[in-house]
Amino acid sequence: MRVAEQTTKRNAIVTGSSRGIGAAIARELAEKGYNICLNCSSKSGLEHLEHFASELEDAYGIKAICCVANVADAPSAQNLIDCCVSAFGSVDVLVNNAGITKDGLAARMKEEDFDAVISVNLKGTFNCCKAAASKMMKQRYGRIINMSSVVGVAGNAGQVNYAASKAGVIGITKSLAKELAARNITVNAVAPGFIATDMTDALSETQKAAISDRIAAKRFGEAQEVAALVGFLASEKAAYITGQVICIDGGMAL
């Protein structure tokens, strides 16, 4: 078992933490000594999440719990926050990572595909922020990190719904940062570019090469690189950083 980095336990929620960037963030925070509330949207993913929770506990000596919650539903999002507070006593860090894509050209996009992406990515972020902020305001401490995307900054053909949702997350971030700063609560957004995950693994080598050519660094990012940035923003060292959108895209949006 590795010894966690921080001596004072803090408690963190990472939505959509069963795989990819969310799982990497959960691992990063666990390694730094945070108790972790893991989240998935349906019971079908609970068994995998429970195995991951046990792995984190064994590896880092922290406590990890699992909560099934659809963040697009306000009562479910509230239950997620309450679950963390009930188990650990507080919620100190919220990472809004849960998100979906339903890509397609705007002229052909189904209304339900637009609504679904906005509901999870944008409203889900708002729901969790609202529920967590009320707890953080009372304790006069908190770190909220919202996962946006370089697409929310620069746009992307075929992703008008996703781009709109992630641009909206930036608006939420900047507005909440102004509302909550006086209570010692920071709110920041992280905007990843192309990160090596299960979704990018499905791309052909030709597609990967074409995308890499658009990136100044000429490679995809790693989930751990995103997680390291989130870990910093969650830390005491980032206390004077709020309302910021930090692109981690290898120079793609330059």
Could you give the residue numbers annotated as active site? Answer: 162
Query: Looking at the chain, which runs of residues are DSSP E strands?
Result: 11-14, 35-40, 64-68, 93-96, 142-147, 185-192, 195-196, 221-222, 245-248
- Give the C-alpha distances (Å, rounded to integers) separating 130 from 133, 190, 202, 243, 250: 5, 19, 35, 16, 32
- Host H or E run for residue 138: helix 124-139
Q: Is 240 exposed, middle or buried (0-12, 13-18, 19+ CB in 10 A)?
A: exposed
Count other Cβ atoms within 10 Å, centred on residue 136.
24
Q: Which residues of 105-135 are buried (b: 16+ CB within 10 A; e: fewer)?
A: eeeebeeebbebbbbbbbbbbbbbbebbbeb
145 DSSP β-pair partners: 95, 188
* Residue 123 token pair: 């409203």
- Host H or E run for residue 201: helix 198-201
